Structures are given as structure tokens and as C-alpha cells.
Amino acid sequence: MTEQTDDSLTPPRAVLVGVVGGAFSGLFGLGGGIVMVPLLTSLGGLTQRRAGAYSLAAILPAAIVGSIPYLTHQAVDLVAAGLLVVGSVVGAVVGARLLARVPETLLRWLFVGVLVAGIVRSLLDGFGEPPSVNTAEGLPSLLDGVGMVALGLVMGVASGLLGIGGGQIAVPGLSALFDFAPALAKGTSLVAMIPTAVSGTWVNARNRLVRLRTAALIGVVASVFSYAGASLSVVLPDRAASVAFAALLVFALVQQVRKALEKRTR
């Protein structure tokens, strides 16, 4: 099934989505699609399906820019990133193909589940125990390698289907399952997200769900303004940032549920 893109996402709206999405992502240190998709449906006027496709494409410039400081500070496990990519590239193709077929209402409720998980994680980060400071060393075992490929597969399917970045799946997965330190998990996830986004966006472009120039505009603007948000984050206490991000997700959750219920009553 192919689907024409519409003209609701004008360049000014695309810039606005990039500014707001980039600033929030930088401010809270997490975001990607979990922030971008609700913005694209509300400010951009897109359907849930197209919002997911645009979000995945817009993540690419941000992932490239965001991975640079992690690479320069050697906070990326390239072996683990490669194993993630083995699964995530395939998963992104599968997820993007599902995106073109899954009913719009189901997509919205699936994203509601992602928002709920994000809220829980933000509150746990704010009030839970400090994260582990262990780092991954050496080559992974065969079992760990298979596990990383499987984690990448889940990451790719979620990215292609819902337009979210790999961070919501890969970062907690690498930390909980493979004892990665937070910075190493984020850097590894960002690097793995680059080919993942390319793979899923290729399918979405073939299905005519995304205009690459508009998505690139959103991504470039978001990358620039994420630095502004990040500069503000240094003066915001970690607990306050986690609670504020959870509040932002609650607002997005309410909007998504409202739209889903409106669709049902029509």
C-alpha cells in the first residue's frame, strides 16, 4: 500500500517542529521520536502514520551530530553498535513496512504505550538509585552478541513502526542486560541509529510517506536547537529534569489519547 503525502507540513511548520523538538530533546537529554511524533501530529498537522515516517527521517541528522561528541570521547562501543545494526537495519525495514499497513488508530495506541513507558522511566531516573558506572570491556561473548542483535531487531522494528529513536529501547537494554554505563549506552545507541534510520526511511520514501527535503529541514533545525536546550540542561538538577520531562510526556499522552478517542467516536 502506498500513501501520498499531503501539504499540511509547510516549511514554516517544519521549522517550528524542529525548533521545539530540538530544544526539548537537548534540554531533557532524551527525546527523538518520543517528542517529535506528538509535535508532528499537533503542530505539523500530520496523521500518526506520516508523523512516524517524518520523525524517523528527521532523527538521522540529529543522530549524526549527536554521535560526534560520544565518538571523540570514546564513549561508543563500536562492536556492540555493529551488532545492534545487524538486527536494527532488518527490524527498521520490517517496522516501516508495517507502518504502511497498520491501522492509524492502532498506531496511535501503540505510541501511547511508548509514552507511558517513557513517563515511568523518567520518574524512575528521577527518584531511583543512581545508575551503574560499569563500562563494557573487550569483545562480547557469543550469547551477548546474539542478545545485542536481538535487541537491535526490537530497536529497529520500534523505530520503523513508531518513528522513535533507538534510545528508548537500546539505552535501557544495554544498561540492564549488558552492564553498559549510561554514557556508553547512549553513544552506542546513537551510532547504531544512523543506519537504522536510513534503512527505515528508504522504505517510507518508497511508500511515499515522507518528503525527504522537509524531513531533512526538521532534522537540521532540531540538531541546531538541541545545543540550545543542552546548554540550559546544565543548570537544571537531574531530578527536576526527569520530573519535567515526565510532565511533558503526560501532556503528549493526553493529546494522543484524546485524538485516539475522537477517531473512535467518529
Instruction: Give the global pTM.
Output: 0.80
Give domain status of residue 200, yes or no.
Answer: yes
Residue 46 confidence (pLDDT): 87
Do residues 40 and 243 lie in contact, with contact meaning Cβ atoms separated by under 8 Å?
no
Residue 54 confidence (pLDDT): 93
Q: 157-214 pLDDT, tens per residue?
A: 988 888 887 777 888 888 888 888 877 888 888 889 899 999 999 999 999 999 999 9
pLDDT of 7 over the 60 cut: no
Number of structural domains the chain divides into: 1
Q: Domain limits at 148?
A: 11-265
Give domain status of residue 4, yes or no.
Answer: no
Rounded Cα gap, residues 254 and 260, in angstroms: 10
Rounded Cα gap, residues 165 and 158, in angstroms: 8
Give domain status of residue 2, yes or no.
Answer: no
Rounded Cα gap, residues 57 and 21, in angstroms: 14
Which residues fall within 8 angstroms of residue 247, CB to CB, at 6 or more apart?
none
Give domain status of residue 52, yes or no.
Answer: yes
One-character DSSP codes across 137-188: -SPPPHHHHHHHHHHHHHHHHHHHHH---THHHHHHHHHHHH---HHHHHHH
Give domain status of residue 1, yes or no.
Answer: no
**Amino acid identity, residue 106?**
L
